[in-house]
């Protein structure tokens, strides 16, 4: 599969999760969702959204696009998207910390979790919109067929290693 199509397909799954999360905000607010729901949301954004999706964007596609002779506006968008990945990581880390605090009985954490979830949904939809409708469309014109093929193979290899990486880290964490 063309690596750009692959990334856009991953965006669809992330958007589906954001929509599901948005629908659940009222029940999360009333504390009617089991704690495992947020745990699963965190796992999705850490393992899939960040390590798998941002991983391929940063280590493969952005790396390749960054080496091209880009127009100034595309260079700026690339820099902004990278900054947003850092911001997304920080937000998810904050959500993880708040979730842990809440699990330990910190009642103040709840309000912060709700506002963080709402802001994350808006922030991340905008990030995907920039990538789908602006950045990747223009960036694709800089990549030839042979490069697409190589990138495709790299992406497949990256994905293949991901499940092993996840459980290697899980075993390391359980061994501590
Ligand atoms: Fe991204
Ligand atoms: Fe993306």
Distance 18 CA to ligand 2 centre (A): 13
Distance 88 CA to ligand 1 centre (A): 9
Averaged over 161-170, what is the pLDDT? Answer: 92
Q: Would you place residue 64 in the very low, low, confident or very high pLDDT band (cuts 50, 70, 90)?
A: very high
Mean pLDDT across the chain, nearest whole number?
96
**Cα 133 to the chain's mean position, in Å?**
17
Q: Which ligand is nearest to the Cα of residue 8, counting in written order?
A: 2
Which pair of tokens denotes residue 80? 């902004």
Q: Which helix (H) or strand (E) holds 154?
A: helix 145-174
- Provide the phi-psi class of 106: left if phi over 0, else alpha when psi is between -120 and 50, else beta: beta
Is residue 74 scored above 90 in pLDDT?
Answer: yes
Please, what is the end-to-end C-alpha distance for the chain in angstroms? 39
Q: How far is the C-alpha of 50 from the C-alpha of 169, rounded, in Å?
A: 15
Output the CA 175–ligand 2 centroid distance in Å.
Answer: 33
C-alpha of residue 104 to centroid of ligand 1, in Å:
33
Task: State pTM to two decimals.
Answer: 0.94
Residue 99 contacts by C-beta under 8 Å, 6 or more apart in sequence? 35, 38, 39, 42, 109, 113
What is the per-residue pLDDT for 35?
Answer: 86
Collapsing DSSP states into helix, strand and coil, what is residue 24? helix
Contact 125, 18 (CB under 8 A): yes
Write down the pLDDT at residue 107. 87
Domain boundaries, the chain: 3-174
Judged on CB neighbours under 10 Å (0-12, 13-18, 19+), 167 is exposed
pLDDT of 1 higher than 90? no
48 CA from centroid of ligand 1 (Å): 12
Superfamily name with CATH number, domain 3-174? nmb1532 protein domain like (1.20.120.520)
State mean pLDDT over 86-109.
Answer: 95
């Amino acid at each position: 599969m063309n690596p750009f199509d692959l990334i856009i397909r991953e965006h669809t799954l992330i958007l589906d999760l954001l929509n599901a999360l948005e629908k659940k905000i009222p029940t999360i607010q009333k504390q009617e969702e089991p704690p495992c729901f947020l745990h699963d949301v965190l796992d999705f954004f850490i393992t899939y959204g960040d390590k798998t999706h941002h991983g391929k964007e940063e280590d493969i596609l952005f790396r390749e696009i960054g080496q091209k002779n880009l127009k100034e506006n595309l260079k700026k968008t690339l820099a902004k998207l990278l900054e947003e990945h850092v911001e997304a990581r920080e937000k998810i880390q904050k959500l993880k910390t708040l979730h842990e605090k809440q699990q330990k009985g910190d009642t103040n954490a709840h309000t912060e979790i709700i506002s963080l979830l709402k802001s994350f949904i808006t922030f991340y939809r905008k990030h995907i919109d920039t990538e789908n409708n602006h950045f990747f469309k223009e960036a694709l014109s800089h990549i030839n067929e042979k490069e697409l093929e190589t990138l495709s193979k790299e992406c497949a290899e990256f994905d293949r290693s991901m499940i092993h990486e996840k459980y290697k880290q899980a075993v390391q964490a359980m061994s501590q």
